Amino acid sequence: MPKKKSKSGAAPKRGAGPKMKRGLPAHRVPEDQQLAAALERQDTAAVAFALRNDWVVMPLLPGSGPDQIRVFRAEGAEKFMLLLFSAPERYVEMVPQEPAHRFLAYDGPTLRDFLEQNIEGLEAVWFDLAGPHSMQANPQDVLDALRLDVDAVAGDTDAAGDADN
């Protein structure tokens, strides 16, 4: 069965294994990763930029079943929280007791597709919840930030078309 691709045409990158030993390829997680740096500065504009232009770690449900994004629900809450991480190590810090930490690396278009399909069931998006520089955002705000690139490209195309007329 073919793997589901995002609207951008790119399949999510897959990583798995105990303690993230087989996670994101080293060339995909630079030492000065954009999202981690933005979170350290608590800079919401830089976080939005990083989400559009870099990768984010999306936890998967534990077990050997099909890949499903792991979301969390606070006790008594009706909706879920989506937890995103700047690096595999941040995910491990949140759930160190688990024997394996499965995850996918999502780029901006893939994260946007996920949010568009699941936003009604989400109450919050948390970044690097285990710290040291965690941030929380409204899911719609994250989706709006991810849509900026699409809107900007569409606007550039429209403006070029108007100039020709």
CATH code for the domain in which residue 145 is found: 3.40.1350.90
For residue 125, the SS3 value is strand
**Is residue 162 in a domain?**
no
**Is residue 80 in a domain?**
yes
**Is residue 81 in a domain?**
yes
Give mean pLDDT, residues 89-115: 93
Confidence (pLDDT) at 67: 87
Residue 55 CB partners (closer than 8 Å, separation 6+)? 13, 24, 28, 29, 105, 106, 107
| pTM of this prediction exceeds 0.75 | no
Confidence (pLDDT) at 150: 59
**Is residue 2 in a domain?**
no
Confidence (pLDDT) at 19: 36
pLDDT tens-place string over residues 11-58: 555 444 333 334 444 444 454 578 999 999 999 999 999 999 989 999
Domain count of the chain? 1
**Nearest Cα to Cα of residue 140 among 120, 154, 126:** 120
- Domain of 85 in residue numbering reads as 13-157
**Is residue 64 in a domain?**
yes
**Is residue 164 in a domain?**
no
What's the mean per-residue pLDDT of the chain? Answer: 80
**Is residue 163 in a domain?**
no
**Is residue 4 in a domain?**
no
| Cβ-contact 59, 102 below 8 angstroms | yes
Place of tokens 């993230």: 20
